[in-house]
Every structure is written in C-alpha cells, then in structure tokens.
Amino acid sequence: MALQLDAHPPATPAPRKTRPPRSGRLSRIDAKYSPYLYIAPFFVIFAIFGAWPLAYTFWVSLHDWDLLGTDPTFIGADNYTQLLVDSDFWHSVVNTLGIFVISTVPQLLLALWLANLLNRHLRFRTGWRMAVLVPNVTSTAAVAIVFGVLFGREFGMVNWMLDLVGLDPIGWKSDRFASWVAISAMVDWRWTGYNALIFLAAMQAIPRDLYEAAAIDGANRARQFWAVTVPLLKPTIIFCVIISTIGGLQLFTEPRLFHSGTNAIRGGPMRESQTLTMYMFENAFAPYYNFGYGSAVAWLLFALIAIVAAINVLIIRRLGAGARPKIGGRKGGPQ
C-alpha cells in the first residue's frame, strides 16, 4: 500500500482513536480559521482608521471642501497647483527642512559619541542609561512649554547665560533661524539618548576581537571608532536616520507649544518656525477649516518624507561604500 504524502484527505476518513470525530472536525476548523480571527482586529481597525483615511485624504484634497459648505465641489488638482505657488507653504517647507537638518545631524553624531561612552566598562551602568533616556519619557507638550520659557527673550535662562559671557540677547522666538535652533535643541534633548541606546545595542553586537586586531595594527581609539565601529553600524545608522527623518519632518508639538497666544499655530507672527504639519492644521482646522487644501498639504508632506528618506539612504550608502571592511560577512546574519 502506497503512502499518501499529498494533502488530499483520504476518500474515507480514518477512524480517530483518541477523539470522537466531531471534536476532531471542530479542532481542524479551529486550527484553520482561528488565526484569521486573531489578526482580524488589526485589519479591521486599520481599515477603518488607517487605510480608509489614507485614500480619503487624497479624495478630499481634490475638492473645495469647506467645513461649513454643505456639498464639496470637485476641483481636480486645483488645491495642488495653488499650493505650488503658495509662498506660505514653501516657507513652512523650508522651516521644516531647516529644523530637521540642524536637529538631526548633531543629534545622531552626539548619540554615536554617547553610545561609544556607554559601551565601556562602567559603574552604575543602568543608571547612566536611564539618565540619558529620561528626556525621552517626559511629556513633549510639557517640555515644549518649559523650553519656551528657557528661551524667553527677557527672562529666559539661555539669554541670561549669554549675557554672563558678554553676548547680546537673542530673540529666540522672533528670529527665524534662532527659533529653528531653539526647537532643534528641544528635539535633540529629547531624542539623543534614545538614539544612543539603539547605537549602543548595535555596538555590543560587534565582536571585540576586531578592536584587538585594530589595536595591534596600531589604530588608536578615534581611528578604531571610524574604521571599525561606524562602518559596522551602518544598518543601524540608516535605521536611525530614517526614523529621525520621519519624526523630524512631522514635527508639530514642539514648535506649536514653543509659541503661545494668537499666532501659535503660525509659529510666531512672521511664521518664523511654522512647520508643514502646523501649516496643515492652520488650513484644515481653525482658523480656515479648508479640508481640501489641508489634505493637499498632508499629501505633499508625505511626498516630502518619502523623497528625503530616499535621499538619506542614497547618501549613506555612498558615504559608507568605500569604508566598509570585508569583515561584515563574518557575522553571518541578515544585514
């Protein structure tokens, strides 16, 4: 008699020895369909509150869609063409990119350096790690308000310290570039420790004999860092850059709460630090309630994130191409 190896059930089911047939069928139905039941909540919730809005934003963006207007009129790409010549929109794009660059670059460099420090034999290991992560677990809104005061013009502590060393006070909220710096300081304060821990985790996976070998070859610490650590961290660095890109381009809470009063959603009277998300809010909700225009801003924001993320990856690939040693293959795992 031939063994039946394929999946077809035998013509007459073999009698079960351990269980009555009814529960056998039930358990087969259970094994076959219950996985779908377990993953269904995600797909149901995502369909309603994630996927549908995604498509619907696009649909809304093709309309003249006012909160008060009863029926929205289809206007095609008008919102987009209007946006492309909207100087306030481009102003917010420049703000967003500017804040993103001056926050992300120092943040990741600092995080690398901090991770390198944490990757030594330290007393109170967990204590140091907790200390650098504390900023990340505070309330963003609260911190934005606190920093707003620290960077105040008259009584802010930062200007007071500048005064101590004989520098003129800076209008952190009224000067465009200065407000970018202040908001970047907030972002860096919050995220440097988080990135440092991610880098630290990756550093601990680097085999230590590589460093011994480099030391024997006469490489000092700095050289070991740039020639061994950084190239081997490349996948993690790419990961952190992309995460920071997505986060940095969506910045909202910090700049929104850095300013207070009537012009808060504009990022100051002259839109000094209005980010794209703030511009979207300004148009979609109070004061304008123009959902169509706001949705178009949202889609262009998405496009911007995709473009910047792609550029980032290209640059990092290019930068690391020459420096990468062959030892990467030794780890064997998927990169």
Of 225-254, which residues contact another protein (CB under 8 A)? 236, 239, 246, 250, 252-253
State how far the Cα of 237 lies from the Cα of 233, in Å rounded to an integer: 6
Q: Does 57 bind another protein (CB under 8 A)?
A: yes
Token reading at 230: 């950084």
Minimal CA–CA distance to 316: which of 246, 241, 245? 241
State how far the Cα of 94 lies from the Cα of 87, in Å rounded to an integer: 10
Give backbone dihedrals phi and psi of 4, rounded to 5 degrees, phi first: -90, 110
Minimal CA–CA distance to 275: which of 258, 261, 287, 290? 258
> 249 to 288, contacts with another protein by CB under 8 A?
250, 252-253, 256-257, 260-261, 264, 277, 280-281, 284-285
> 150 to 179, contacts with another protein by CB under 8 A?
150, 155, 157, 160
> 287 to 316, contacts with another protein by CB under 8 A?
291, 294-295, 298-299, 301-302, 305
Please identify, using beta-carbon distances, which residue of 50 and 269 lies nearer to another protein: 50
Q: Does 73 bind another protein (CB under 8 A)?
A: no
Among residues 95, 104, 112, 147, the one that binds another protein under rule CB under 8 A: 147
Please identify, using beta-carbon distances, which residue of 23 and 174 lies nearer to another protein: 23
Smallest distance from another protein to CB 323, Å: 21
What is the enclosing helix (H) or strand (E) of 145? helix 140-150
Q: Does 143 bind another protein (CB under 8 A)?
A: yes
CA dihedral 156, 161, 163, 164 (to 10 degrees): 150
The Cα-based distances of 141 to 92, 103, 147 in angstroms read 21, 18, 10
State how far the Cα of 178 lies from the Cα of 63, in Å rounded to an integer: 38
Smallest distance from another protein to CB 117, Å: 5
Buried b (16+ CB within 10 A) or exposed e, 75-93: eeebbeeebeebeebebbb
* Apex 141 CA angle, 264 and 48, nearest 5: 90
Q: Does 25 bind another protein (CB under 8 A)?
A: no
Q: Does 83 bind another protein (CB under 8 A)?
A: no
Please identify, using beta-carbon distances, which residue of 98 and 156 lies nearer to another protein: 156
Q: Does 216 bind another protein (CB under 8 A)?
A: no
Please identify, using beta-carbon distances, which residue of 101 and 309 lies nearer to another protein: 309
Q: Does 146 bind another protein (CB under 8 A)?
A: yes
Among residues 77, 84, 109, 117, the one that binds another protein under rule CB under 8 A: 117
Please identify, using beta-carbon distances, which residue of 2 and 39 lies nearer to another protein: 39
Please identify, using beta-carbon distances, which residue of 11 and 63 lies nearer to another protein: 63
Smallest distance from another protein to CB 137, Å: 5
Please identify, using beta-carbon distances, which residue of 49 and 168 lies nearer to another protein: 49
What residues contact residue 175 under an 8 Å CB cut-off, 6+ apart? 272
Do you find a cis peptide bond into 41, omega within 30 degrees of 0? no
Q: Which stretch binds another protein (CB under 8 A): 79-87, 142-150, 167-175, 319-327?
A: 142-150
Q: Does 128 bind another protein (CB under 8 A)?
A: yes
Please identify, using beta-carbon distances, which residue of 11 and 55 lies nearer to another protein: 55
Environment class of residue 187 by beta-carbon count within 10 Å: exposed (0-12), middle (13-18) or buried (19+)? buried
Minimal CA–CA distance to 258: which of 178, 163, 191? 178
